[in-house]
Structure 1
């Protein structure tokens, strides 16, 4: 029986290189060097190197692979089916090339940016991720404190391992929390959660729209699950005849009937700005404007939902081609595979208000709150360096002329119609 790969080197062993056709020699070289460096710092298997010996986001992943329990690693790192989308997310950013301007005074740079009216220290937020307590006893509590100290938004998962009230109370004065929402098939429970979130001072509700059912994550399924429960949603992980996938069995409560008309209900009950997480086409971005949401998060769920979906940056470029006015009507965020300050800079230059980071903060939790803060420091430092080397002093100066998009342009669709297939089914989409 073949196994589902859970790491980048496993992906390279498969036939084919995914939709982005990455330079696998370059990718392999970077990852081999990173693993070799980290492993040299490990006295024995299972021990962690000194936190401040880690100098990149990738280093945290290498440590987590060694330090986390096998089931936890499988749950955090796994992606759907053949990992095509997961790998495409990573390689996509390497296809966007920066075009620096020179001979500019870049002694001081400003990275602060408004995100839904709130000033963030960098144009980065933490995307929602479930069950952080599996990585560290303080879980989302440690993340809340780190985000508060660093001045960025934390999106709390519906499947967080601590109650929402505990997470919010751990934050600092004026800190902004958003709640990620999976709508419960027992809708009164969703209403109770939304009302509770508003009472706690949560600033926005982030409705996940790309996962009405869970994706097939084979690495997660192959390792038996222990009985763990999410404190907010109440979802419980158990084993069944399909396997022990935490992502699948904890998603059984999700209402697969959720549709566009339900957004008015969510807004009415919560009284909060609505962000749609999981927009993957320009058409749905335009529809989000029509339904009056405040922001959209372009995302393919980290490659964990439907495999072979396009990366967020491809969708971002598709929007510029098909519905450029959307950028003036709402805020546009992206996530999926962002591991470098250059990735963040390129996304902002191409119209994203801010960038979400997911798996990396889970991996950094191996070191608790201090690890999460160090991760943010690394991203901020890389962003500042990238800005200076690109010739800008304020993140608001980032613009499309800074990025050569030619290598991605063959992937960008100009409309929902296929460019040359004329056959159409009888049913309409």
Structure 2
């Protein structure tokens, strides 16, 4: 029988030499684990002798302690009755967020993806906003991902019967209502208590494919269990340096019905995400920093804390090994040149995702939409385009962006951040609303372009003569700019 421990007893163990914390109703002795915590010692020490569940939950899946720590570190269960009487003071940030949520616009007032981003900035905690919104270095690539779409113009056709428009398509053998999937994004619980399960539920009601991330806040099985009986899901994989861990995960994913394995290859190390880094550093104790200034390491925030396991030795030769352990179609996520797209096809992959990791890795890497046409041309020259599916992600914010990607050869597009912002602000209903907006916008563009089904969309419908001209004058995109920079929303409160 588990020992029942009072909060008063836990509070006595609050030193580096003897540290207990409460997580999900259990008391853990983390004294030996403290120096090895990937997120650093500071965050554990902050909750020494206290309940750390609120800080722990957004970053970690619920089963991670049992999977990685020895059973003997669990000292027993907390006395929940007594814990409920422990007063937790509302911080100034908590107060600001509570008031911002009370003043949120109604869901019906959300007219596009940028509206959700603007609201999310006001209702997310500072560390969550820093992690979700950060790009690498000067964030040039992150903004270019979106602005590159502005250099592509339409050639609309008229006098076509477009009364009935069908936006559905097939991706990796699964039927979907839109050529769109919710791509893998880490740490969903930073934005919503239910985390990635929120996205799963919305995908179920709107018949959309979800890519499940390796670094989800929810456990993999929690996400799969929330899906409908015929709901298509894909797995995004960060390859572990311990290949046995990756093999076990891949085999389990296949047994749970995943329809595709997307191996992320653009993260041999983390990009320099300064916004996330500054947020992590700002949480340090200023007095301790001044006393130990030569020992302070400005680590890479939430991103570094969850990704130390990723294998930097991953190479093309490893594709054969992955093909030996799974029958799932294998796609490479993070391709950024036509040469690597051709190699992926030659090594027997089912497809690729053109992606620069949302502008979070190498600044000045090209946007996916910019290189899409040349990738398709290279695959055709090598006779490798048949049955090889090309997807893109990064910067897609409108139904018109989706149309442009399909016209240039993409099978579908992945969208990440906008759904995190919709989830963080309005939960399942917010994600469903955003999907409805993309559906409506895409359908409208199809009508204006004179097409009634996906197969009618062709490359001659878009003008890409300026796609490589990075420094031409573009119209100011006020919606994007005001979401990215600080602005005055309704009521005059600062976002």
Q: Tell me the TM-score normalized by structure 2.
A: 0.70
**1:201-245 CA distance string (max 9 Å, x none):** 111111001111111100000112899xxxxxxxxxxx9712351
C-alpha separation in 1, matches of 2:302 and 2:455: 40
Partner of residue 128, structure 2: 72
Preserved CA contact (<8 Å) 1:285 1:326: no
C-alpha separation in 1, matches of 2:297 and 2:418: 31
Per the TM alignment, residue 323 of structure 1 is displaced from its structure 2 partner at its CA by 3.4
**1:115-158 CA distance string (max 9 Å, x none):** 00111100000110001011111111111111111111100110
Partner of residue 423, structure 1: none
3-state DSSP of counterpart to 2:325? helix
C-alpha separation in 2, matches of 1:50 and 1:43: 16
Per the TM alignment, residue 43 of structure 1 is displaced from its structure 2 partner at its CA by 11
Q: Do residues 206 (structure 1) and 262 (structure 2) align?
A: yes
Q: 2:390 aligns with which of 328, 332, 336?
A: 332
Q: Do residues 144 (structure 1) and 144 (structure 2) align?
A: no
Q: 1:347 aligns with which of 405, 411, 414?
A: 405
- Match runs of 1:131-280 below 5 Å: 131-224=187-280, 241-280=297-336
Q: Do residues 98 (structure 1) and 170 (structure 2) align?
A: no
C-alpha separation in 2, matches of 1:321 and 1:172: 38
Q: 2:348 aligns with which of 288, 292, 300?
A: 292
Q: 1:303 aligns with which of 359, 362, 370?
A: 359
Preserved CA contact (<8 Å) 1:57 1:360: yes
C-alpha separation in 2, matches of 1:275 and 1:341: 25
Q: Which moved more, 1:323-332 or 1:285-294?
A: 323-332
Partner of residue 422, structure 2: 364
Distance 1:166 1:54, change over 3 A: same
Distance 1:189 1:281, change over 3 A: same
Q: Do residues 63 (structure 1) and 122 (structure 2) align?
A: no
Q: Tell me the TM-score normalized by structure 1.
A: 0.81
Q: 1:109 aligns with which of 165, 176, 180?
A: 165
Q: Which moved more, 1:256-265 or 1:46-55?
A: 46-55
Preserved CA contact (<8 Å) 2:353 2:390: yes
Gaps of 5+ in 2: 1-96, 284-294, 471-495
Partner of residue 281, structure 1: 337
Per the TM alignment, residue 248 of structure 1 is displaced from its structure 2 partner at its CA by 2.3
Q: 1:394 aligns with which of 453, 460, 463?
A: 453
Gaps of 5+ in 1: 1-41, 228-238, 412-429
C-alpha separation in 2, matches of 1:53 and 1:212: 41
Partner of residue 466, structure 2: 407
3-state DSSP of counterpart to 1:260? coil
3-state DSSP of counterpart to 1:212? coil
Per the TM alignment, residue 264 of structure 1 is displaced from its structure 2 partner at its CA by 1.5
Distance 1:226 1:251, change over 3 A: farther
C-alpha separation in 1, matches of 2:194 and 2:270: 27
3-state DSSP of counterpart to 1:224? helix
Q: Which moved more, 1:198-207 or 1:217-226?
A: 217-226
Partner of residue 439, structure 2: 380
RMSD over aligned Cα atoms: 1.9
3-state DSSP of counterpart to 1:297? strand
**1:31-71 CA distance string (max 9 Å, x none):** xxxxxxxxxxx995454211121010010100111110010
Q: Which moved more, 1:322-331 or 1:212-221?
A: 322-331
Q: Do residues 54 (structure 1) and 114 (structure 2) align?
A: no
**1:175-225 CA distance string (max 9 Å, x none):** 111110001111111111111111211111110011111111000001128
Preserved CA contact (<8 Å) 2:342 2:378: no
Preserved CA contact (<8 Å) 1:80 1:215: yes
3-state DSSP of counterpart to 2:385? helix
Q: Which moved more, 1:239-248 or 1:175-184?
A: 239-248
Per the TM alignment, residue 267 of structure 1 is displaced from its structure 2 partner at its CA by 2.1
| Higher Cα radius of gyration | 2
Distance 1:304 1:43, change over 3 A: closer
Distance 1:151 1:198, change over 3 A: same
C-alpha separation in 2, matches of 1:323 and 1:268: 25
Q: 1:128 aligns with which of 181, 184, 201?
A: 184
C-alpha separation in 2, matches of 1:333 and 1:58: 23
C-alpha separation in 1, matches of 2:147 and 2:167: 25
Q: Between Structure 1 and Structure 2, how many residues are aligned? A: 359
